[in-house]
Amino acid sequence: MCLASLVVLGGCRAGPDYHPQSSAELSVPAAYLHSAEAHADMAGEADWWKRFDDPALPPLIARALAGNTDIASATARLQQAREGLRQAKAQFAPTISSSGNAGRLFNSAAPDSDSFSQSLDARWTADLFGGLGRGRQASAASLEAARYSLADVQRAILAELARNLVDTRTTALRLDIARDTLRTQDDNLVIAGFRVRAGLVSALDEEQARSQRAATAASIPLLVRTEAAARNRVAVLAGMAPEAINPLLGTSSKVPAAPRLVVGAPLDLLRRRPDLRAAERRLAAASARIGVAKAQLYPALVLTGNLGTTSNSIRTLTDVVTGQIFASLSATIFDGGRLRSVVRQRRAEAEESLADYHGRVLGALEDVENALVTRETSDTRLVELGQQVAAADAAARLARSNYRAGLTDFRTLLDAERTLLSARDGEASARGDRTKAAIQLYLALGGDWPQDLDFSGKKRP
């Protein structure tokens, strides 16, 4: 009767039943403060990198997914979580073990005799108060968290790779501008030399032209170093040695164009951001572990049984088989408050997970708002810099023509050339910043990974 009563009581699982937080509890607003992005067609959204017009990016992304070491580590953690769930499920099944013995008894007063025995033991723990069930829930939630954590690592690595590719292209464009400017300054130095030797101007013009040319030439090695560092970073992110990246990356100086994006509503972040989904699953696991700890406060029912046989001959080993079955009920009467302390500890861990989840949601909202402002301001800045380049180019052409005709001094030409170089270099950097702002927005929105895929590429059951 006692056992039957315990089985009935076991229908109630220890610990709280987990319910996801509502958007109001997570302080998620209805709309963003800044939502200037145009709504665009997101066909093929799982491959967001194809929306950037750089042919090197898709193969580099494929290499990163296959060979990046951080992704490989996250994949290994996912496999560990899978095995953890299998172990949690296995606790519901009985444990069966077998053993056998063989020996010979030596006796000086009697003939030697043989001894053979074999036993089969079984043990099963009843999940009376749902401790094992809560453990399985915790392991399942941890597995989901590991899946989303892998997606989050992929999201971060791919975005970082794309950013460094943009840096490579941007620096290559700045190098082209610096070398083009250097050729113009070489011409200016020749013209100044002619005018000095003709007695039309003093030697000051030639020295100023030489100084300006040397300053531009000195900037080129720094740009070469910056480009090499960006290339090497792309190689490492793609899981490749630096010297192997050149055939894949090429020598293009075209900065990838930034596509328009679908921003959606703030509530979408809870679904799209894998780091938020991982945090929510960790909260669910922490909640389930409260039940695991609480179930330890209640009695445990264990059923054990065994079958055994003993014989002096292996031929007659199975002639007589004996067996027994036991049910044991155990409960902790006094442990100094340890088990109840564990329950309080698990509750505190759940509160920590909730605070972490809430903080990550607020941080994600901040990321999107910052990315939207960055994208909007980078568009405006690029337009203004384009106008500056056009005006500075016209001014430099006019100053160069006037200097050759003797209508202006060399300092005016120097200032015009310096302003043009600064404007062109600034516009090139702004093009890269605008594209990286789009990547930042992709990252803030959670990337575009398919929601129904296990991250090995297989459909989830």
Q: How big is the CA angle at 111 (ends 110 and 114), to the nearest 5 degrees?
A: 120
User: Would you say 372 and 40 are in contact if contact means Cβ atoms under 8 Å apart?
Assistant: no
Query: For 398-435, what is each residue's pLDDT tens digit?
Result: 998 898 888 888 889 889 999 999 999 999 999 999 99
Q: Which two tokens stand for residue 440?
A: 């930042």
Q: Please, what is the end-to-end C-alpha distance for the chain in angstroms?
A: 42
pLDDT recorded at residue 39: 44
pLDDT recorded at residue 46: 58
Q: Determine what percent of the chain is predicted with pLDDT higher than 90.
A: 48
Question: What is the spatial distance between Cα 417 and Cα 413, in angstroms, rounded to a whole number?
Answer: 6
Say whether pLDDT at 106 is over 80.
Answer: no
Question: What is the spatial distance between Cα 25 and Cα 29, in angstroms, rounded to a whole number?
Answer: 11
Phi–psi pair at 89, nearest 5 degrees:
-65, -35
Question: What is the spatial distance between Cα 380 and Cα 260, in angstroms, rounded to a whole number?
Answer: 15
Query: For 378-402, what is each residue's pLDDT tens digit?
Result: 989 999 999 999 999 999 999 988 9
Question: What is the spatial distance between Cα 309 and Cα 312, in angstroms, rounded to a whole number?
Answer: 11
Beta bridge partners of residue 95, listed in sequence order: 123
Question: What is the spatial distance between Cα 371 and Cα 369, in angstroms, rounded to a whole number?
Answer: 5
Say whether pLDDT at 110 is over 70.
Answer: no
pTM of the model: 0.83
Angle separating helix axes 410-445 and 203-237, nearest 10 degrees? 10
Q: How far is CA 431 from the centre of its chain?
A: 26
Say whether pLDDT at 91 is over 80.
Answer: yes
Contacts of 393 (CB under 8 A, 6+ apart): 420
pLDDT recorded at residue 281: 95
Query: For 250-264, what is each residue's pLDDT tens digit?
Result: 888 899 988 877 788
User: Would you say 100 and 114 are in contact if contact means Cβ atoms under 8 Å apart?
Assistant: no
